[in-house]
Amino acid sequence: MATRLQFENNCEVGVFSKLTNAYCLVAIGGSESFYSIYEYELADVIPVVKTSIAGTRIIGRACAGNKNGLLVPHTTTDQELQHLRNSLPDSVVVQRIDERLNALGNHIACNDHVALAHTDLDRKTEELIADVLGVEVFRTTIAGNILVGTYCALSNRGGMVHPHTSIEELDELSTLLQVPLVAGTVNRGSDLIAAGMTVNDWTAFCGSDTTATELSVIENVFKLRKAQPSAIVDEMRKSLIDSYV
Amino acid sequence: MVEDQDAGMFNVKQTIGTVLCCRCGIKMQPNAANMCVSCLRSEVDITEGLQKHVVISHCPNCDRYLQPPKNWLKAQWESKELLTFCVKRMKNLNKVTLINAEFVWTEPHSKRIKVRLTIQKECLEKAYVVEYVQQDHLCESCSRVAANPDQWVASVQLRQHVSHRRTFFYLEQLILKHDAASKAIKIKQMHQGIDFFFGNRSHAVKFMEFLRSVVPTKSRDDKQLVSHDVKSSNYNYKYTFSVQISPVCREDLICLPRRLSSSLGNIGPLVVCTKVTNSIALLDPFTLRHCHLDSDQYWRHGFKSLMISRQLVEYIVLNIEITSPPMEAKIGGARYLLADAEVARLSDLGRNNNIFSVKTHLGHLLNTGDHALGYDLCAANSNNSELEKYKSSLEVPEVVLIKKSYEEAWQRKRGKPRKYKLKHLEMEVEDRARVDEEKERSDYEQFQRDIEENPELRFNLSLYRNKEYQEESEAGSMADDAAGCSSVGGAAC
């Protein structure tokens, strides 16, 4: 199910949070309401971790990750890195990478199997992505934009891209990613998809400006209507319990 | 994606897909706002930031609209100029494209003007109505007039210190022809002159320049402080230009001062003035030498005429002989021939035997038996200081003939309407008691005869056809003329 919320009156929730199948990162906000919504939805299933990256709150755009790992930029402080390593499950590898383009969330769009990367990323970074996240990496652009991380929101069930993407490109990307894709908008016609929403296999969170039409499109493409977390997350339960002890 | 293979042979066709409008959910092509056109139109108000309500100032007296800060624009109700003016008064209109503007009818007394503007911004069109409230506000010139209707700013006081008004009649016709007094608020006839009142100093100066080009003048100007705004240091003045026309007129006899005479090449001290424009043309009737004096030169000496045309006496030519060798001069298009003549006063004829032998410059015109007008110097008692100075060295002739007389012809035509008419300037007469009606009428009659006799004088004037003039009376007068001629011929012999 998709939820609509705001971070301190701002609808770009994908900037202030990062949602994957194994964990969820949220920014430290003035009021606890942002965190509590995530907790309400996810607390039983996956850990919800409050953090900052490089002292900033734009964690959704700074890091990129999936259930296998998390990549953080070189500007992350040691304390933040340690905090992340402590809070996240052991199966999740937290790696700090040295990359000139350090807003990793804007440059990398990934799910658990495949990732799209910015065309100018280092070779080394690409290898690291493949290693840490356990994905196949493709360098591509979306509708002529090189910031693939911003203009594409991916989950294992589906994906949404920039509204100006042509049909041929949609087909091509869809073949690469092996998931159904749709060109749509979020937050009342905004084309910054991944900044406006964050999604995993059973739930999605969108900015409160998102209209009903957009929400229905999101729910359709990411197949959120019938999704239940339990089936997907059972495999991860063991590792979670370990951390409690 | 574009694949370039051997100079871009294979280009993948890009089909833009459809997205759902974020508000209403209908399928549409993606655009900048990702909303369908109707949602966009209801969402976005392109008239935001544009004025809906504007105040304009209108002068009820002269029906003009204020374009700040100072310009007043004349425009009719619901005219094109008013529409342009209203659109110009709208601010921020440069951010959108104006497609159409038209008036919506409002009651004229409501003091509201409504204009419907159709504007376009980023492919969205919208028509909306702007209301202009018309506030009444007297413009500066109307308020000044209302405060004091006789208000003038500059005046030109034109004077000529002679006893006749011929120059002013001639000037009146010239002014009418050149439309020089069109900007005058008021024209007033004064003793020995005319006053012209203007609303603007530059109009007065322009009029003065015109006068300077047609008559020899001397002028001075003064100003009088009317009001003074301390804060803005604005001074309001009344300007007065005093213009004096030279008293020398056509056909006057002049005795030149000794110094002037010698500087002009010893032209005989007695000269006749033949023409007055912006310079004075003088002719020595005994030597046929001529010269011109322009206004500066004249005013440096400031001499007056010895005898004026009112003092002309009629003579009859008894005998006339062209001098041998014949002396001829062509001055300003007119031919003069020196001749010896024997003349007698018309009043003397039959009574006594006074015959004068004179030299005259009218040899080309006069024949025996003709009547001529001239100055009687032997009988005259002239009080002229210049003439006194010459006392011994100058031999004063007894008679100086000036022009041929057409007196009989005028006698016959007296009372009959003329073929042409002259226009008049609207003048206020200041003091009715002082004006001598009889004198004025005879002066005017003389002026009209002058222009009929002299084609060169007519050159600058406009004559209009007199509709009241009848052809039959012309025939009648012709017969009279014929009869009259023979009778005069008889009397002369």
Q: How far is A164 from chain B (nearest CA, A)?
A: 6
Provide the pLDDT confidence category of residue B324 given band limits of 50, 70 and 90: confident
Lowest mean pLDDT among A60-64, A225-229, B63-67: A225-229
The model's confidence at residue B236, banded by pLDDT at 50, 70 and 90, is: confident
CA B358 vs CA B257, B323, B416: distances in Å: 23, 12, 36
The verdict on A214 touching B (C-beta cutoff 8 Å) is yes
Name the residue facing A167 among B15, B24, B33 (closest C-beta).
B15
Task: Specify which of A100-114, A223-237, B417-431, B448-462 reaches the highest per-range mean pLDDT.
Answer: A100-114
User: For residues B460 and A39, what is the distance between their CA atoms, to the nearest angstrom?
Assistant: 107
Quick check: B471 pLDDT over 60? Answer: no
Number of CB pairs < 8 Å for A and B?
A: 53
Query: At B404, is the pLDDT very low, low, confident or very high (cuts 50, 70, 90)?
Result: confident
Question: Cα–Cα distances in Å, from B115 out to A81, B76, B118?
Answer: 66, 15, 10
Would you call B12 an interface residue with chain A, using a CB distance cutoff of 8 Å?
Answer: yes
DSSP β-bridge partners for residue B116: B102, B129
CB B281 within 8 A of CB B275: yes
CB-based contact (8 Å) between B23 and chain A?
A: yes
Provide the percentage of residues in chain A whose pLDDT is more than 70. Answer: 92
CA dist A196 and A150 (Å) reads 9
Show the tokens assigned to A16: 């202030």
Summarised one tens digit per residue, pLDDT across range B186-210 is 888 888 899 999 988 999 999 999 9
Contact between A153 and A132 under an 8 Å Cβ cutoff? The reply is no
Query: Does position A14 have pLDDT exceeding 90, yes or no?
Result: yes
Name the strands in the sheet holding A181-183, side by side, starting at the edge strand that comes first in the sequence: A152-154, A159-161, A181-183
Nearest CA to A190 among A222, A166, A160, A157? A160
- Chain A: nearest CA to B36, how far in angstroms? 10
Chain B: residue whose CA lies nearest to A189: B34
CA distance B95 to chain A (A): 24
Kindly state the average pLDDT of the residues B323-332.
Answer: 76
A144 Rama sector, left if φ>0, alpha if ψ -120 to 50, beta otherwise: left
- Comparing alpha-carbon positions, the chain B residue that sits nearest to A172 is B1
Cβ <8 Å between A213 and B12? no
Kindly determine whether residue B22 and residue A213, on different chains, have CB atoms separated by under 8 Å. yes
Chain B residues touching residue A220 (CB < 8 angstroms)? none
What pLDDT is recorded for position B473?
Answer: 44
Do A184 and B24 make contact, defined as CB atoms within 8 angstroms? no
User: Is the peptide bond prior to B108 cis by the omega test (within 30 degrees of 0)?
Assistant: no
Task: List Cβ neighbours of B351 (8 Å cut-off, separation of 6 or more).
Answer: none
Q: Give the ipTM of the model, two decimals please.
A: 0.75
Tokens for B197?
Answer: 């009142």
Distance from CA of A191 to the nearest CA of B (A): 8
In this complex, the residue of B12, B16, B20 whose CB is nearest that of residue A184 is B20
**B235: β partners:** B228
Q: What is the pTM of this model?
A: 0.50
